[in-house]
Structure formats: structure tokens, C-alpha cells
């Protein structure tokens, strides 16, 4: 069955209602005019006025409806048709350009259509370009991983291998545990490594651990990848040769020194005996030569041994594995190491930098805690760092008596089985040119064990990790016009713009109100640089009224100690440099930063988003910053509105939103936009 329509379309019903009202009004006017004409029988002009007055209502309804139809309703229908065509196909013909009261939308609609067509073309090529770029990046990454000599492993939070490079493949040659998707446990089945993986901080702070692998020792540096789903990067180094040299040959050399010293002493004693023999009996020429040779060799041997001893001590102090350490990081790593055993070290005093082998010191201190547990009935000890002239004293403090020499000697003779070659505690201390002793505190209740370690010239805590910069490069800047090019002829998109805003003690700048805050941000190559900002508070030299505080939230205490305006303005002028400045209702902010006698001139071109918005949309009300932010869909973070920097950011984003509309009207250069801005300013002045 054919579908039955219940009525006419809405437009036809509206037109019918309009014609009906017009007809009724005209018919009623005619009846009313006839009745009045018969009642008063006017003559001449009076009769014409009577009839025209009675027909004026119906005629007005008809004419207003006709005007709305031609100037608004018909253009709206045509716009609807054109938008529908554009949605279906951006290349659709343009039969209905905006007309009537919508004629001013013509440039905007043309801009939308052209941008739509351009974007569609760019999107078509972006897929191919993106695929080529991804392939190139992947190839470069693979090449980089292949030539990188440091073995790398990347595993997920399930400890499955996601990535490894050629160096790792070489390191684990013929090892069946290496492969994508395989568990790290199959490659490095070490409990200490997996404990360390479970305790790595999420901020990317590294942790070191030594792990055995077949007959080798590997130093693993573990880092959690920030912002990832628990992925961990392992950097591996084969330290077998280093530890063999450090704890093998060097240790034997150090142990040989006492023997050499004894031989030297024996040789010296022999020389003394020969001397006494010479004085006791007659000596021949041979005996004299022997005595001379023995004396010379003894002296040379002693000097050589001393030089060798100094050289070894220097090698120990400048060991290649001694690196800068922050004492609090060492205590935290020690607490993580013993978290499951209930032992804990509480850092006290001022932390400091020291130089040491992090892994060796960590294992040494762990063994010290275990040894102290047998002599001290405490699970919580204190850790303190004391500064000497050239050494840093690392102290473990407990309540009780100090350890005796016999106990210290027993501890220093212990083997550290978790380190390569299982060195003794004394060997690790010797590596750091250190020793250990125990002493009582002056309070008579506490004792401590002290380890002197190499000091560092570095002072202050490690710098906090900064968040990644939103923009770290922009190669498009190289394509901008030269800095010395004529500014008026530069395109709007190539302008360097500094958007700024001020907060003041009040609105009466000519009657004593002044600046209390200046905020600014920079737009370069059509990009708002989020980290390139200027934000300073200013001491106004007068109380801030409560009415002003209610707007911007700044109180007298907030600006106490801030620089005066005479100091802040030169800094702001230096920040602007050669840029064009931008503000919303710029006349007020310019007056604020150029007080009488200020001495700083802001003679660069000034753009005003308030005037530009009024020039673009003269027929639309509402050009304040809040209304425009809502109109253009700008996001204002909570608490940022009515702060100098927050309003400056919104103004900069508003400028970027106005750019396409300006260009759609052929306003492409700074000179063009200043002329448009001036025309809006003139209109505002004329209507004031």
C-alpha cells in the first residue's frame, strides 16, 4: 500500500498559516473599514487614511512574512541543502551560496568546504605517508638496536620478552630462554632479580643488581618505563672481567704486599748483619762490595714497594665502578632489599653524596644488618651520614654497646656469596679504600658502626624528574620569514605572538590602581608553547581591596616580597622580544603596563581579540572572554580563569581559533588585521 501522509510538510503548513493570517487580517480590515466608512462617511484624505489603517495590519503581516521568507527562511533552506551536500560529498556543486541575512557566512562556508576538501586529500595521502614513515622509523629503530653494543631486554608486567637487540642475542648465544614472548625467568632464573623487578619505582629510577649467568656475572640496570603498562627495560653488562680484576688479581696483589714488605725487612736485616760482621773482623774488598749491593738493593726494594702500594691504593680509590650515590637512595635500596625480612633503616640527619659501587655497598650493608641481628636485638636501626674533610662517614646506629674488634674482624672475614668470586667484606672495603670501626655515642645509650667512603664535591639533593616538555622541536620554524623581514607584510600564521594579561588592584588605573600580576605565553608557528611562559607577581605598594581579591583571589600576603612594577616591567619587555603582543581588551592591559613614569615603552604592534571578534561578528552579542571561550569550545582549566597566566592562555587559544576566520575573509597579513581591528575600534568609539 502506498504510504499516506497525514498532512502537509512543516514548511507548507507554516506558509499556509502565514497566508491564512494575512488573509484573515486583510478580510477583517476590509469589513472593519466598510463598517467605519458607512458609520462616519469620511471624505477625501480621511477616507484613504481609514482604509489604509484598516488594511495595514494584514499588509504588515504579509510583508514581514515575505521579508523573512526571502531574507532568512529561504537562505536557511539553501544552507541546509548545501550542508547536506557537503556532508555527503565535499566536492558537491555550490548552487546555493549564503544569501540574505546569512550572506556574511559565505566566507566561513567557503572556508569549511575548502578545508574539508583539503583535509580529505590530506587524509588520503596521510595513510600512505604514515605507513611509509612507520616503516622508516621501524627500520631505523631496528638498525639502531642492531648496532647498539649494550644488551637490552624489554619485558612486560608478566615478565615476557617484548624486545631484545643483537647485542643481547650475542650475549645469550645458544641460550634457549631468549625469544620474543618467552618468560624472563627462563633466561635469568635468579630470585634476587625478580625481587628487584617487583620493587622498581614507577618514575624510571634505576635499580642495579648482579646476577649470575652460567659462568659469568651480569650487572643488570632495571628501569620501569614511565607511563607504560608496567614494562621494564633491562640494560645488561658483563662484569666478569671487571670483578675478576677487582677481586682476583688485585686482591692477590694486595695480599702479596705484606710478603714483599717482610722480604724487604729481611734483606735490610741481612745488610745490618753484614755491616756488623765487617766491624767485628777484617773485611776484604768482596765483602765491602756485597754490603754496598745489599744496602742499595734493600733501599730500592723498599722504595719500589712503597710506590707500588701507593699505586694500588690510588687504583682502589679510582675504581671504574665507583659512581656518585645519593645516601637516601642507598638507604631506600637497602630497605627494599630487606623488606621481606622485617629489617629497616631510618635515615636521620642531612643526606649527602658519596662515591661507591652501589651493588657492592648494598650487599655489604645487607650482610652487616644480618650480622648485627645476631648481636643487637633490634629490627629498626638508624642511618646517618657525617661529612669529613675528604671522606663521608656512613653510620649505622643502634641502642646498645659498640661491637668489639673481634666481632668486627669476624664480620670483615665473611664471604659475600651473592657477588662475583664471593669476595670478603674486607675486599669490598678495600675497593673503596675504606675500613670499619665501632664507637659509642656521647649519650651513652647508642652505638654506631662507621664506614668512611670517598666524598663528592656535589651538593644538594638530586633534581626532581621534570615532566616531558609538550614541545621539544619544531623544524617548521626554519621555513618562517627572516626575522628582519617587513613585519606588516608578514602572514598571520608566521607571526610570533605573545599573549598577556594583567591582574590589578582595581579598575581605576588613572586613579592609583596598579598591577599585581603579569602572565604571558608565546605562540610560534601557530603553536601555543605550553612551557614557554612568563608569570610574575608584583608588589603594588598598596593594599589589595577585598572586592578585587574576590575576582582574582590574590591577597596582600600573596604579593609580599614580590618585585615592584619598576623591576617586573623590564623583565616582561625582555620576554616579549620582537614579538607582536596580544590581549583581550588590550586598551586596559596596555594602560596597566605603561603607567606614568614607568620608563618602559611597548611600541610593538598590538592585537586585541575583543575588537577582532566584534569586527568578525558585528551582529552577534557577547564578546567577553568567557562567552568567546564557550563559543569556540575552548577549555579553561579549573582555577585558571581570572589569573594572569590562565587568561593569557585562553586569549592565545582564542587567537588561534580566529585565524581561520580571518583568512577566510582574505585577511592574511598583520597590516590587514590591524586595519580590520581599527575599523571595529572606530565603530565602538562612535557608538559610545
- List the domain range (segments joined by +) for residue 673: 476-687
Pairwise CA distance, residues 228 & 498, whole Å: 35
Predicted confidence at residue 687, as pLDDT, reads: 39
- Select the more confidently predicted residue: 314 or 230: 230
Q: How many CB atoms lie within 10 A of CB 463?
A: 6
**Domain annotation covers residue 96:** no
**Whether residue 284 sits in one domain with residue 176:** yes
For residues 110 and 41, what is the distance between their CA atoms, to the nearest angstrom? 61
| 170 and 297 inside one domain | yes
Mean pLDDT within 370-387: 85
Please give the average per-residue pLDDT across 33-40, as a whole number: 80
Provide the b/e sequence for 539-556 (b: ≥16 CB within 10 Å): bbeeebeeebbeebebee
If you average pLDDT over residues 636-644, what whole number do you get?
A: 78
Residue 3 lies in a domain: no
- Indicate whether 265 pLDDT > 70: no
Residue 463 belongs to some domain of the structure: no
Indicate the pairing of strand 527-537 with strand 606-608.
unpaired
Q: Are 333 and 319 in contact (CB under 8 A)?
A: no
CA gap 630, 652 in Å, rounded: 15
Last residue of one domain, picked from the residues 269, 297, 319: 319
What does the pLDDT read at residue 538? 93
164 and 280 in a single domain? The answer is yes
333 neighbors 369 (Cβ within 8 angstroms)? no
pLDDT at residue 8 is higher than 60: no
CATH number (domain holding residue 338): 3.30.565.10
List the alpha helices (DSSP H) in 476-564. 546-552, 556-559
- Residue 462 inside a domain? The answer is no
Same domain, yes or no: 248 and 284: yes
Assess whether pLDDT exceeds 70 at residue 281.
no
Asked if residue 95 is part of any domain, the answer here is: no
Within this chain, do residues 579 and 664 fall inside the same structural domain, yes or no?
yes
345 and 260 part of one domain: no
On whether residue 466 sits in a domain, the answer given is no
Question: Would you place residue 305 in the very low, low, confident or very high pLDDT band (cuts 50, 70, 90)?
Answer: confident
Cell numbers for 153: 631486554
Q: What is the pTM of this model?
A: 0.46
Asked if residue 340 and residue 312 are part of one domain, the reply reads no
4 lies in a domain?
A: no
pLDDT in tens, 196-217: 787 788 877 888 887 777 667 7
- Give 563-621 pLDDT, tens digit per residue: 999 999 999 998 998 889 999 988 899 989 988 877 788 888 999 999 998 888 876 77
C-alpha cell at 572: 616582561
367 and 389 inside one domain: yes
Query: What pLDDT, in 10s, does the model give residues 394-430?
Result: 999 988 888 888 888 898 888 888 877 778 888 888 8
Q: What is the pLDDT of residue 649?
A: 92
319-336 mean pLDDT: 78
- Same domain flag for 142 and 205: no
Convert the pLDDT of each residue in 131-148 to its tens digit.
777 777 777 776 776 777
Residue spans of alpha helices (H) in 148-228: 166-171, 184-187, 191-198
Which triple of cell numbers denotes residue 176?
634457549
Using alpha carbons, list the distances in angstroms from residue 237 to 182, 209, 540, 635, 684.
Answer: 21, 11, 60, 49, 73
Q: Is 298 helix (H, G, I), strand (E, B) or coil?
A: helix
Same domain, 128 and 254: no
The owner of cell 651480569 is 218
- What are the backbone angles phi and psi of residue 449, rounded to the nearest 5°? -110, 130
Rounded Cα distance, 682 and 571, in Å: 33
Give the C-alpha separation, 398 to 448, whole Å. 6
CATH number of domain containing 310 = 3.30.450.20
Cβ(347)–Cβ(383) below 8 Å: yes
154 and 301 belong to one structural domain = yes
Contact 604, 581 (CB under 8 A): yes
Query: Among 39, 60, 88, where does a domain finish?
Result: 88
What pLDDT sits at residue 581? 93
Average pLDDT, the chain: 78
The one-character DSSP state at 251 is: H
Of the candidates 652, 436, 374, which has an alpha carbon nearest to the alpha carbon of residue 534?
652
Q: How far apart are CA 491 and CA 673, in angstroms?
A: 10
Is residue 561 a part of any domain in this protein? yes
Number of domains making up the chain: 5
User: Does one domain contain both 503 and 520?
Assistant: yes
Amino acid at each position: 500500500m502506498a504510504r499516506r501522509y497525514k498532512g502537509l510538510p512543516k514548511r507548507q503548513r507554516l506558509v499556509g498559516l502565514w497566508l491564512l493570517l494575512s488573509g484573515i487580517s486583510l478580510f477583517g480590515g476590509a469589513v472593519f473599514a466598510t463598517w467605519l466608512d458607512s458609520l462616519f462617511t469620511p471624505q477625501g484624505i480621511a477616507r484613504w487614511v481609514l482604509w489604509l489603517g484598516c488594511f495595514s495590519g494584514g499588509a504588515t503581516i504579509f510583508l514581514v512574512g515575505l521579508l523573512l521568507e526571502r531574507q532568512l527562511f529561504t537562505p536557511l533552506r539553501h544552507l541546509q541543502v548545501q550542508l547536506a551536500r557537503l556532508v555527503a560529498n565535499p566536492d558537491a556543486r555550490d548552487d546555493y551560496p549564503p544569501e540574505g541575512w546569512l550572506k556574511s557566512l559565505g566566507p566561513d562556508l567557503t572556508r569549511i568546504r575548502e578545508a574539508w576538501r583539503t583535509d580529505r586529500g590530506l587524509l588520503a595521502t596521510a595513510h600512505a605517508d604514515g605507513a611509509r614513515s612507520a616503516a622508516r622509523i621501524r627500520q631505523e629503530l631496528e638498525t639502531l638496536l642492531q648496532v647498539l653494543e649494550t644488551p637490552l631486554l624489554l619485558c612486560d608486567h608478566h615478565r615476557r620478552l617484548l624486545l631484545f637487540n643483537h647485542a643481547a642475542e650475542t650475549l645469550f648465544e645458544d641460550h634457549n630462554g631468549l625469544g620474543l614472548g618467552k618468560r624472563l625467568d627462563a633466561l635469568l632464573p635468579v630470585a634476587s632479580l625478580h625481587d628487584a623487578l617487583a620493587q622498581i619505582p614507577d618514575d624510571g629510577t634505576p635499580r642495579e643488581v648482579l646476577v649470575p649467568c652460567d659462568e659469568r656475572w651480569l650487572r643488570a640496570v632495571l628501569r620501569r618505563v614511565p607511563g607504560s603498562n608496567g614494562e621494564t627495560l633491562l640494560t645488561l653488562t658483563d662484569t666478569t672481567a671487571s670483578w675478576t680484576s677487582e677481586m682476583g688479581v688485585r686482591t692477590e696483589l694486595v695480599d702479596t704486599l705484606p710478603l714483599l714488605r717482610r722480604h724487604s725487612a729481611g734483606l735490610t736485616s741481612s745488610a745490618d748483619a753484614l755491616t756488623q760482621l765487617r766491624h767485628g773482623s777484617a773485611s776484604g774488598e768482596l765483602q765491602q762490595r756485597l754490603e754496598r749491593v745489599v744496602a742499595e738493593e734493600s733501599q730500592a726494594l723498599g722504595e719500589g714497594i712503597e710506590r707500588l702500594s701507593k699505586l694500588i691504593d690510588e687504583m682502589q680509590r679510582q675504581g671504574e665502578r665507583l659512581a656518585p650515590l645519593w645516601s637516601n637512595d642507598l638507604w631506600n635500596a637497602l630497605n627494599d632489599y630487606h623488606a621481606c625480612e622485617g629489617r629497616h633503616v631510618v635515615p636521620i640527619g642531612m643526606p649527602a653524596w658519596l662515591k661507591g659501587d652501589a651493588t657492592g655497598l648494598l650487599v655489604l650493608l645487607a650482610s652487616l644488618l644480618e650480622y648485627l641481628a645476631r648481636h643487637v636485638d633490634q629490627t629498626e636501626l638508624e642511618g646517618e651520614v657525617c661529612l669529613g674533610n675528604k671522606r663521608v662517614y656512613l653510620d649505622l646506629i643502634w641502642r646498645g654497646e659498640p661491637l668489639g674488634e673481634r666481632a668486627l674482624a669476624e664480620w670483615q672475614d665473611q664471604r659475600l656469596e651473592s657477588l662475583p668470586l664471593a669476595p670478603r667484606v674486607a675486599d669490598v672495603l678495600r675497593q673503596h679504600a675504606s675500613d670499619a670501626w665501632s664507637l659509642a655515642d656521647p649519650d651513652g645509650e647508642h652505638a654506631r658502626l662507621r664506614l668512611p667512603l670517598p666524598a663528592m664535591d656535589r651538593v644538594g639533593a638530586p633534581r626532581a624528574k621534570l615532566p616531558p616538555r609538550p614541545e621539544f622541536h619544531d623544524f617548521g620554524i626554519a621555513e618562517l620569514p627572516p626575522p628582519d623581514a617587513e613585519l606588516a607584510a608578514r602572514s598571520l600564521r608566521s607571526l610570533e605572538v605573545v599573549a598577556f594579561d594583567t591582574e590589578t588592584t582595581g579598575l581605576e588605573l588613572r586613579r592609583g590602581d596598579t598591577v599585581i600580576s603579569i602572565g604571558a605565553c608565546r605562540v610560534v608557528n601557530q603553536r601555543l608553547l605550553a612551557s614557554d611562559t612568563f608569570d610574575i607577581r608584583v608588589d603594588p605598594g598598596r593594599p589589595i581591596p577585598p572586592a578585587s581579591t574576590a575576582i582574582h583571589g590574590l591577597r596582600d600576603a600573596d604579593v609580599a616580597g614580590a618585585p615592584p612594577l619598576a623591576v617586573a616591567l623590564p623583565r616582561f619587555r625582555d620576554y616579549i622580544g620582537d614579538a607582536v603582543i596580544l590581549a583581550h581588551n588590550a586598551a586596559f592591559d596596555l594602560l596597566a603596563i605603561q603607567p606614568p613614569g614607568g620608563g618602559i615603552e611597548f611600541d610593538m604592534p598590538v592585537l586585541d581579540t575583543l575588537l577582532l571578534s566584534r569586527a568578525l561578528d558585528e551582529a552577534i552579542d557577547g564578546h567577553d572572554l568567557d562567552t568567546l571561550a564557550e563559543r569556540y569550545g575552548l577549555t579553561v582549566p579549573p582555577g585558571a580563569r581570572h589569573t594572569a597566566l590562565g587568561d593569557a592562555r585562553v586569549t592565545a587559544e582564542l587567537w588561534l581559533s580566529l585565524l581561520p576566520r580571518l583568512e577566510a575573509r582574505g585577511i592574511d597579513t598583520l597590516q590587514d588585521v590591524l586595519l580590520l581591528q581599527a575599523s571595529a575600534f572606530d565603530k565602538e568609539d562612535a557608538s559610545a
